[in-house]
Structure 1
Amino acid sequence: MALTRKATGGGIRGREGIAGWLFVIPMIVILGLFLVIPIFMALWVSFTNWQGNTNPFSIGQGTELVGAKNYTDLFARDGLTRDNFMQSLGNTFYYVLLVVPLQTVLALALALLVNNKMLKGKSFFRTAFYFPSVTSSIAIATVFLFLFSNSGAVNSLLDLFGVDGPNWFTDSRGVLHLLFNAVGVDNPGWAQGEILGRSLWDWLSGPSVALFVIIFLVVWTTSGTFMLMFIAALQDLPVEVDEAAALDGVSKWQKLRLVTIPMIRPALFLVITLGLIGTWQVFDQIYVMGKGAPDGTTLTPAFLSYQQSFGNFRYGSGAAMAFVVFVIIIVLTRIQRYVLTDKDERKPLFGIGGRR
């Protein structure tokens, strides 16, 4: 009888399985309808010249299948599309390079501060540090827009020190170009070679001052959320670890570097991964604070994809940009996971190399 029940999936375990599927199926249906299917539809659109006025699957009725043309236009065909996309990639590269480390370090520092047993008023500081994260990003971006406008508070303060604020914050040159110009270097011959349609000098421009303002805004608003993740990881550490470190007489810096950070590595991986995804998909701050101005120095792939799709009605090109960013995120996430994994536990990177 027991064998028959086991074979037919009856009994308590069988009923648990049925109950489990009843709870899971609604979420599978919702994710399938609103996530999986739209992703595959967007992938199909990226291989067409769909303009949004017909059925994207009706080939021959105003929509043509163009293959990989939308992708090759982004990398190999001279024109405004490639120029804008490459500029957005260059902007986002510097944006990610600055935002992810800064917000990670700041979040960990805040978590260590709030988790200190000697600190009084922990609830107040946790709320204060987390408050910018729960405030509307559009509202904060609008406030920053007023602060850094020509007649804003920041420029008024700079005027007191004799700095021409409006011209400074609307300068389209990157900070690296400003530093090069300060030492007399301006578009040298060794920087004239082209990479993907842009000169090396343009790739080395660095973030503009306007992009630095957005970087400061994003670091300030996101560090609170990541602080909570680090606090949860720090509070999960065994008490014996602190006692052993105290008995060994290690300094606070040695304890942080050799004990705390290795033990919260899963939380560190989560924070960096979410940071990479969020920075490569930044949109709302860009939309509110200039839509790429000045001179495209705050342009990002996410905003450019939106602009191509809903502004120029080139949905195929916009979808192709989105999938290029998707691949970049996957590659960077795989690399940073490989870096954060112990050497003895590393798997081959992209299926190449590794231990045998």
Structure 2
Amino acid sequence: MANTETIPVTAQGTAKKRKRLSYSIWFILPAFILYTAFVIYPTLNSVNLSFTSWDGVSDEIRYIGFDNFVEMFRSERVYNALKNTLILSLSLVVLENIAALILAILVDQVRWFKSLFRSIFYFPVLLSGIVMGFVWAIIFNFNFGVISQLLDRIGLSDWKIDWLGNPNYALLAIIITTVWKGSGYYMIIYLAGLQGIPPELNEAAAIDGANRWQRFRHITFPLLASAMTVSVMLSMIGALKIFDQIAVMTDGGPGFATETLTYIVYKVGFGELRQGYGTALSLMLFVLILIVSLIQIKLLRKREVQM
């Protein structure tokens, strides 16, 4: 008797699950079709194009095997772009996170107008990379830039630097600009982490005689491990893909002084009409970002566990 009652209930439950599953599939299907059309298919097609000499315009596509990859690994220009990319990425990860952590601590300790200061520091994030690049290009201009005019006014004209025209300073100008723009974004992440730390921990440490640095070193900093993991990951990925600032401020110059892997893909693919070679470079950039991200995740997660 018990078996005859259980079977219909089970069958009814299975039918409901199948019905819910069918509804879920219909909801997911439009997004899956769009994602396939605009992400999966172009990615797979890029792998195919990397083995061609296609110029991006003509209908003829000629397969050349691994010639693009051989040229890529023999090119001094590519190695220079890789060097610039690594220098830029490491500098931005360190400087953006240090600046963001300092800003977060300052905002967290402010008693009055906390929301105002948070908005001021976050405002550069809202600017587009193009607009921000134009603004800083004017600031760094050797002839009429704000920095040059200020040095002229105070009688220090000999200290003027051609930031964007000197290969020794152009990459530094890009770094300064990007740190100014991105620090506010990571400040919000650190600020959320700071506000999640119980105040009783710092109060107890202060009662025990710990100074500000000791409280930060042994309490605040370890408890910000998860926020730091997110910030470092995002800043590294963003630095590896930086494009807007370089396009507006230096166009990869002077010479190839600020040309990164992202920018060389654009220059080769659209400037020199070598889509096949540019696609091969973009695949190398994808592999680089993937490797760096996996290494970061492993190291930062291990650090979280240790802390």
The bucket for the TM-score relative to the shorter chain is 0.7 to 0.9
Relative to structure 1, the CA distance from residue 169 to residue 314 in structure 2 (aligned partners, 3 Å threshold; closer, same or farther) is: closer
Correspondent of 1:109 among 102, 114, 126: 102
Contact 2:141 2:148 in 1 (8 A): yes
Correspondent of 2:11 among 4, 7, 13: 4
Deviation track 1:239-271 (CA, whole Å, cap 9, x = no partner) reads: 554455445543332333333333332221111
Amino acid at match of 1:5: Q
Deviation track 1:102-142 (CA, whole Å, cap 9, x = no partner) reads: 001111111122122x5210011011000000012211211
Q: CA deviation at 1:299?
A: 0.9
Amino acid at match of 2:146: A
The answer for the alignment partner of 1:237 in structure 2 is 197
The answer for the alignment partner of 1:99 in structure 2 is 92
Amino acid at match of 1:31: Y
Amino acid at match of 1:306: Y
Matched, 1:143 2:150: no
Deviation track 1:206-239 (CA, whole Å, cap 9, x = no partner) reads: xx21111111110000011111112222223345
The answer for the alignment partner of 1:64 in structure 2 is 62
Matched, 1:340 2:300: yes
- 2:158 aligns to what SS in structure 1? coil
Relative to structure 1, the CA distance from residue 123 to residue 73 in structure 2 (aligned partners, 3 Å threshold; closer, same or farther) is: same
Pairs aligned (count): 296
Relative to structure 1, the CA distance from residue 132 to residue 168 in structure 2 (aligned partners, 3 Å threshold; closer, same or farther) is: closer
1:221-260 alignment to 2 at 5 Å?
221-246=181-206, 248-260=208-220
Contact 2:90 2:236 in 1 (8 A): no
Q: Distance in 1 between matches of 2:205 and 2:18?
A: 49
Deviation track 1:121-169 (CA, whole Å, cap 9, x = no partner) reads: 0011011000000012211211111222232222233343132636565
Matched, 1:43 2:43: no
Relative to structure 1, the CA distance from residue 259 to residue 74 in structure 2 (aligned partners, 3 Å threshold; closer, same or farther) is: same
Amino acid at match of 2:133: A
Same amino acid, percent of matched pairs:
31
Unaligned 5+ segments in structure 2 are 1-7
Relative to structure 1, the CA distance from residue 296 to residue 111 in structure 2 (aligned partners, 3 Å threshold; closer, same or farther) is: same
Q: Distance in 1 between matches of 2:159 and 2:66?
A: 48
1:94-243 alignment to 2 at 5 Å?
94-116=87-109, 118-151=110-143, 152-159=145-152, 160-163=155-158, 165=160, 170-172=165-167, 208-243=168-203
Q: Distance in 1 between matches of 2:21 and 2:115?
A: 42
Correspondent of 2:236 among 263, 276, 280: 276
Relative to structure 1, the CA distance from residue 106 to residue 36 in structure 2 (aligned partners, 3 Å threshold; closer, same or farther) is: same
Q: CA deviation at 1:281?
A: 1.0
Q: Distance in 2 between matches of 1:303 and 1:113?
A: 36
Relative to structure 1, the CA distance from residue 33 to residue 241 in structure 2 (aligned partners, 3 Å threshold; closer, same or farther) is: farther
RMSD: 2.4
Q: CA deviation at 1:332?
A: 1.5
Relative to structure 1, the CA distance from residue 263 to residue 32 in structure 2 (aligned partners, 3 Å threshold; closer, same or farther) is: farther
Task: Answer with 127-136 or 322-331: which moved more.
Answer: 322-331
Q: Distance in 2 between matches of 1:241 and 1:34?
A: 49
1:254-333 alignment to 2 at 5 Å?
254-333=214-293
Contact 2:140 2:162 in 1 (8 A): no
Q: Distance in 2 between matches of 1:92 and 1:248?
A: 46
Relative to structure 1, the CA distance from residue 86 to residue 239 in structure 2 (aligned partners, 3 Å threshold; closer, same or farther) is: same
Q: Distance in 2 between matches of 1:211 and 1:130?
A: 24
Question: Which protein has the bigger helix share?
Answer: 2
Relative to structure 1, the CA distance from residue 331 to residue 150 in structure 2 (aligned partners, 3 Å threshold; closer, same or farther) is: same
Deviation track 1:14-33 (CA, whole Å, cap 9, x = no partner) reads: 55444443433332222221
Q: Distance in 2 between matches of 1:249 and 1:17?
A: 60
Relative to structure 1, the CA distance from residue 166 to residue 119 in structure 2 (aligned partners, 3 Å threshold; closer, same or farther) is: same
Correspondent of 1:25 among 22, 29, 36: 29
